[in-house]
Amino acid sequence: MVSSSDKTIQSGARRAALKNGLRVGALVGATGGVGLTASGRASAEVTPDPLITEVQDWNRFMGDGVDANPYGKPSVHESDAVRRTVSWLTAENKSSINFTPLHKLDGIITPNGLCFERHHGGVATIAPADHRLMINGLVDTPLVFTMEDLERFPRENHVYFLECAANSGMEWRGAQLNGCQFTHGMVHNVMYTGVRLKHLLAEAGVSPRGKWLLPEGADPSHMTRSIPMEKAMDDCMVVFKMNGEALRPEQGYPLRLVVPGWEGNMWVKWLRRLEVGDQPWHHREETSKYTDLLADGTARRFTWTMDVKSIITSPSPQAPILHGRGRTVVSGLAWSGHGTVNRVDVSTDGGRNWNTARLDGPSLSKSLHRFYYEFDWDGSELFLQSRAIDEQRQVQPTKDALRAARGMNSIYHNNGIQTWHIRPDGSAENVEVS
């Protein structure tokens, strides 16, 4: 069903396109053969812009009043800023993944509707009044909390990135996917509101023998992971709000675990139970999956921390340079599970020479950081790279260094430096360079 307001927008856009088409046609006719300036526009005889000289529909006619969208939506012109999946990654879509459109975003906060999804048994639908959180195992008093109970604990607000350990995993063997959405889009950054786990555990009273914690989800996968008690007592949270509003169903509504800086699989969604134990459980997601197979056939387990990493989000294959040579803004994201990002360097020549980029916006521990590098592009081909350095002074490694250390089958924890090949026409491709 098309609402009257949609019709207005569509017909308005059609008229504008028609006018622009006429204008371009007129330009070509008038200037034929005249060279192009850096901005891609004809250098001589630029005709007045009808978007300025003529009264447009949106200048004249009323748009929607208030309440046309009780829950607001992005502009119709932003319909390509959406999560996307890669169908061949998984067997079907209920245990699958999609990707955050990093190339369409700026700043450090990921809008709730664009946070990538990863489920193992579909999105559970739970009424908050029907949700319970149990704490059992090696505790003085096993407890059950309702959502109302949880909101009576002291609340905190923190911005944290969540990165899937398999982010960039498809690139272990070499360049494969054309777009930072697909190579790096299993990450999002959200301000959470919730309660520190230590307060909940104190309520139940953890036994001195309690060294491990097993969170469990209420969805059909009943997701579980083993978390060491020091981490649980340090900065882990149970949260019910993201970016100010209730968690989205696909992010674990009404309750999820937050494990700052550690791999996303541990951030159990639809959280219903926390068990305290004296040993790890070695469940499926920490043995069969999320273990890092090395070249000699051994495998690392409990590889929790997400190492220092960065990615240039624009220009990139989905966001080519359209403006020609001249002033150019390189924009990207950097993060580290070890804390804050100290610095980001950008190379335009495939790692021969580096320039320090400008970090902008809040620099928060275990949060995405936004960086910019502005320069005058001469129009020649570029090999764009970014390299992050975190507060532990760990430097983001090259992909070759990771392969040399781990072999080709590690899948997880690929934080290697990404290269975008910018061609003279401004288009970009995912490559690796010597």
129 neighbors 252 (Cβ within 8 angstroms): no
In whole angstroms, the minimum distance from the beta carbon of 357 to other proteins comes to: 13
Say if strands 133-137 and 271-277 run parallel, antiparallel, or are unpaired. parallel
The answer to whether 384 and 347 have CB atoms below 8 angstroms apart is yes
User: How far is the C-alpha of 238 from the C-alpha of 6, rounded, in Å?
Assistant: 40
Cβ-based nearer residue to other proteins, 216 or 235: 216
> Distance of alpha carbon 411 from its chain centroid, rounded?
18
CB of 175 to other proteins, least distance (A): 4
Is the CB of 220 or the CB of 249 nearer to other proteins? Answer: 220
The answer, yes or no, to whether the previous bond of 260 is cis (omega within 30 of 0) is no
CB neighbours of 432 closer than 8 A, spacing ≥ 6? 174, 175, 399, 419
The CA-CA-CA angle for residues 361, 367, 373, to 5°, reads 45
CB of 62 to other proteins, least distance (A): 25
Q: Is the peptide bond before 228 cis (omega within 30 degrees of 0)?
A: no
Select 11 or 355, whichever has its Cβ closest to other proteins. 355
The least distance separating other proteins from the CB of residue 353, rounded to whole angstroms, comes to 5
Q: Which is nearer to other proteins, 199 or 323 (CB)?
A: 199
Least separation, in Å, of the C-beta of 145 and other proteins?
4
Least gap, CB of 233 to other proteins (angstroms): 14
CB 285, min distance to other proteins, A = 9
Amino acid, single-letter form, for residue 287:
T
Which CB, 145 or 253, lies closer to other proteins? 145
CA neighbor of 108 nearest in space, from 423, 364, 391, 392:
364
Q: State the minimum distance, in angstroms, from the CB of residue 8 to other proteins.
A: 25
Q: Give the torsion sign (CA, 360, 366, 367, 370).
A: positive
281 closest CA partner among 95, 139, 121, 137: 137
Is 382 exposed, middle or buried (CB count within 10 Å of its CB: 0-12, 13-18, 19+)? buried
How far, in Å, are 191, 217, 270, 351 from residue 147 at the CA level?
Answer: 19, 15, 12, 51
What Cα–Cα distance (Å) separates residue 96 from each residue in 87, 117, 119, 177, 250? 9, 8, 6, 17, 12
291 vs 314 by CB, closer to other proteins: 291
Q: Toward other proteins, which CB reaches closer, 9 or 150?
A: 150
Return the number of the residue (246 or 395) whose C-beta is nearest other proteins. 395
Quote the least distance from Cβ 63 to other proteins, whole Å.
Answer: 25
Amino acid at the residue 381: E
Cβ proximity to other proteins: between 122 and 379 the closer is 122
